Amino acid sequence: SQTIHQWPATLVQPVGSPLSLECTVEGTSNPNLYWYRQAAGRGLQLLFYSVGIGQISSEVPQNLSASRPQDRQFILSSKKLLLSDSGFYLCAWRGNYEQYFGPGTRLTVT
């Protein structure tokens, strides 16, 4: 069966510090992968998606970037965090048509 992992679970970072969030999927090959952010108020904002290694599509211009160095690894990064980057970050992979989400990372930028 497929499993999706995200870490860390929670993170508190000062403004201006770098960020690296990692997501890995097990039990499937060449999955479509997605990064979402959920700020207070519940809405899901798609940040990046990837249909294969090295292929990244950005949905929202911002100070975040994503990379897919391996088939089942998806990384979200920032060189300098802003206060507005605080939120709940979710990684997902696509099954047949639905998405399966990881446990999420709660990021607080102070």
What DSSP designation does 39 have? -
Select from 21-29, 67-75, 78-86, 87-95 the region that touches another protein (CB under 8 A): 87-95
Return phi, psi of residue 9, to 5°.
-75, -40
If we measure between CA atoms, which residue out of 29, 38, 53, 52 comes closest to residue 101?
38
Please state, in angstroms and rounded to a whole number, the distance separating the CA atoms of residues 4 and 109. Answer: 25
Q: Which is nearer to another protein, 7 or 80 (CB)?
A: 7
Query: From the CB of 13, what's the least distance to another protein, in Å?
Result: 18
Shortest distance, position 47 Cβ to another protein, whole Å: 12
Residues making contact with another protein (CB under 8 A): 32, 42-44, 46, 49, 51, 57, 59, 88, 90, 92, 94-104, 106
